[in-house]
Each structure stands twice: as C-alpha cells, then as structure tokens.
Amino acid sequence: MERNAWAGVSGKTRTKGLGHKWRFVSLLITSTVLGTAGLIMPIIAHAQQQSSGQSVQLNIPAQSLRSAINVFTQATGWEVGFTSSAVEGKRSTAVTGTMTPLQGLRTLVTGTGTSVQVSGPTTAALVAASTGNNGAVAADGSTVLDTITVQGENAWGPVDGIVATRSATGTKTDTPIEKIPQTINVVTADEISSRGATSVAQALRYTPGISTSGYTESYMIADETVTRGFSPSSNYLDGAYLPYHGSLGGALQIGPYTLERIEVLKGPASVLYGQNEPRGIINMVSKRPTETPVHEVRVSTGTYGRTEAAVDFGDPVTKDKTLLYRFVGLGNLGDDQIDFTERSRMLFAPSLTWQPTA
C-alpha cells in the first residue's frame, strides 16, 4: 500500500511539473516565432528593394541578344522572360558601367526593336515591337505567348526511336499505321544503327515472316529475302520497283545507311504496286532533305580488315527554308572470308527539296 501510494503521489507531482514546463516552452517558442517573423519580413523587403534599385557593376559586351540576356540574369539575379521572336537574329548593345539592373536591361535591348516590361521587383519580360501582345504580362499576371508550331512524324521522314506510327507503303498516302488494314512492319534508321546492320537483309533479320538466311545473305552479295515462304521478295525503293535479274545475286543491294526506314507490306495488298505475288513487298525509304540540320560523320572497322566511312549532311539552303539539301555518302573496303576476294564500294546520294511558298 505504501509503495502504491508513493507511486500515485510521485506520478501526480511529475505531471504537474511537466505541465508548467510545457506551458513555458510553448510561450517561448511562440514569442521566438513572432519575433523572428518581425525581423525577417523587413529583411526580405529590404533585399527586394536593394536588388531592384541598387546599382550594380555590369560589363556585358555586344553579342546575340539571347546570350546577353543569360549573362545579365547571372550578373543581377533578375528573371527575364522572352519569346523567340523577341530575340531571334538580334544583337545586343554593349553595357558597361555602374547602373541599376533595370537601366542595364533597357540599355542592353537598345536598337533591337524590343521593349522591356517590368512585371515585378526583379522580373521583366521582353516584347518584340512586331508581336503585339505576345509576351506581354496581363493584369491578372498571365503571359500571352506566341504561337508554337509542332510538327510530328510523317510517312517519309525520320522516326524518333524504333517505333514508327505512320506509313505510306500500304496506301501510298501519309496514314497512321493503326488505320491501315494491312500488316506493315517498319524498321527505322535508329534500329538499323543500333543493330549495326550493313545490309537490308541484316536489318530485316528480326522481322516476323521474313527469312534472310541463305547463300546471298551469308556472302552479302545481294538483298534476297524470303517473305511468307515466297522467294525472292519484291524490293522497292521509294515506291519504285527494283528489277530482279534472276538466279543467285540477281537482286540489287541498297546500303542501309542511306535509308530512313525499311517497310514490309505483307499479303495480297502488294498488288497496289502492280503485278506481285501474294507474299508482299519490301519498300525502302531513302533519306530526304529536312529543315532540321544534319551533320554526321562515321568511321568503322570490322572483320576481314573491313573499313568504312560514311557522311550525312543536310540543311536548309535558304533562310526561308524553301530549298533544302541532303548529301549521303558511303565507302568501304576490305577482304572476305574467301581468299583472294576483295570488297570495295562507293555510294553518293545527293538530293534537293524545293518547297515553294504560296
């Protein structure tokens, strides 16, 4: 009984003591938070006022307006928003001396036809004179951006990755593959490159219904394949039939490096291209000029002393991108598994695209 009584008294005493301590700690924390908030708010306000009105030393040489804005934001800590039309093709004015960030920014865009709109203590937006309200900051804080044009995949162009979504082989029109009522398999340029294929037959090794094993594939002298049991497959380049001369090695061989994609159309739908057997066709789509610059050089080596060099260049010729060019070149040299046999090939594939404006 005495032990239990002692425990009860002791417990009551500790509870009361802790209550006083917790109330004291709570008051201390509350007063600290309120006092700190009172100190921090003036500091933040002073920092904003200082960053927007205090003079800074700037030394930004004349350069492209886009890069000059990047240097300015790093030097001042300001955030400057702009659209592509506000800075594209424009050069900044050199800024040297001590001035406020706003003065420096306005000096930077002098003579560019771009104006500065301040949207906050340390934020601003650049607006091109010819874009109207594009890039302007509205009263509700929203920003009106200029139009962004997004161009997706087309049936004759490059594919981002190994999964194509459009094809022209089954309908001769740019159509989504999922809406074509035929079986079409597409091997893209990325897939050809990742496999290291040096022939069309090698690129088609993993295509269902296609057999590439045989004499011509083993010795790489022709692209003769078997489609659904029919041999040889009918080969087309950009929809044009490649003649077959019969016997072993009678099929023409196209370098896969020059191709954007290889499409296999299976079944009797092959009659879309004229007289064909019900096996289907293989249509190779060559690389074409694009508005996106392409600059690639490759050098490789392989078995039997094989060495190969390849180039792929493409770019718009005119500023309005109405005339485009593409040049693909390939050359290789080496021996073979058969003694006293040498291989030597060279290929050049230049092309032009003219896109007249209305």
Do 96 and 40 lie in one domain? The reply is: no
CB count within 10 Å of CB 174 equals: 13
Q: Which of 264, 286, 308 is the last residue of a domain?
A: 286
Count of structural domains, the chain: 4
Lowest mean pLDDT across 149-153, 175-179, 278-282: 149-153
> What are the backbone dihedrals phi and psi of residue 105, each rounded to the nearest 5 degrees, phi first?
-65, -40
**For residue range 126-146, what is the model confidence (pLDDT) as tens digits?**
887 654 455 555 555 566 665
Looking at per-residue confidence, does 132 or 123 come out higher?
123
**For residue range 291-332, what is the model confidence (pLDDT) as tens digits?**
889 999 999 998 888 899 999 999 999 988 899 999 999 999
- Is residue 117 assigned to a domain? yes
What pLDDT is stored for residue 137 in this prediction?
52
- Is residue 69 assigned to a domain? yes
Residue ranges making up the domain that contains 46: 1-54
Do 92 and 115 lie in one domain? The reply is: yes
**For residue range 236-264, what is the model confidence (pLDDT) as tens digits?**
999 999 988 766 667 788 999 999 999 99
Evaluate if residue 30 carries a pLDDT over 50. yes
Gyration radius from the chain CA atoms? 35
What would the mean pLDDT of 202-222 be, rounded to a whole number? 77
What pLDDT is stored for residue 308 in this prediction?
92
Do 272 and 318 lie in one domain? The reply is: no
What pLDDT is stored for residue 67 in this prediction?
83
Do 271 and 202 lie in one domain? The reply is: yes
Q: Which of 36, 54, 72 is the last residue of a domain?
A: 54
CB count within 10 Å of CB 276 equals: 19
Rounded CA separation 69/78 (Å): 10
Do 267 and 158 lie in one domain? The reply is: yes
Q: What is the pTM of this model?
A: 0.57
- Is residue 60 assigned to a domain? yes
Do 156 and 268 lie in one domain? The reply is: yes
Rounded CA separation 224/221 (Å): 9
What would the mean pLDDT of 88-104 be, rounded to a whole number? 88
Do 23 and 34 lie in one domain? The reply is: yes
- Is residue 187 assigned to a domain? yes
Please provide the average confidence, as pLDDT, over all residues in the chain.
79
Label residue 16 by pLDDT band (50, 70, 90). Answer: very low
Evaluate if residue 10 carries a pLDDT over 80. no
What pLDDT is stored for residue 234 in this prediction?
87
What H or E segment, with its residue span, contains residue 218?
Answer: helix 215-219
Do 91 and 44 lie in one domain? The reply is: no
Do 3 and 67 lie in one domain? The reply is: no
Label residue 348 by pLDDT band (50, 70, 90). Answer: very high
Do 159 and 279 lie in one domain? The reply is: yes
CATH number at residue 107: 3.55.50.30
What would the mean pLDDT of 3-26 be, rounded to a whole number? 43
CB count within 10 Å of CB 227 equals: 25
- Is residue 139 assigned to a domain? no
What is the 3 state secondary structure string of 312-348?
EEEEECCCCCCEEEEEEEEEEEEECCCCCCEEEEEEE
Do 297 and 235 lie in one domain? The reply is: no
Do 279 and 295 lie in one domain? The reply is: no
Tell me the Ramachandran region of residue 97: left when phi exceeds 0, alpha when psi lies from -120 to 50, beta otherwise.
left
What pLDDT is stored for residue 52 in this prediction?
54
- Is residue 141 assigned to a domain? no
Label residue 151 by pLDDT band (50, 70, 90). Answer: low
- Is residue 207 assigned to a domain? yes
What H or E segment, with its residue span, contains residue 174?
Answer: none
- Please give the share of the chain, as a percent, with pLDDT higher than 90: 26
- Is residue 353 assigned to a domain? yes
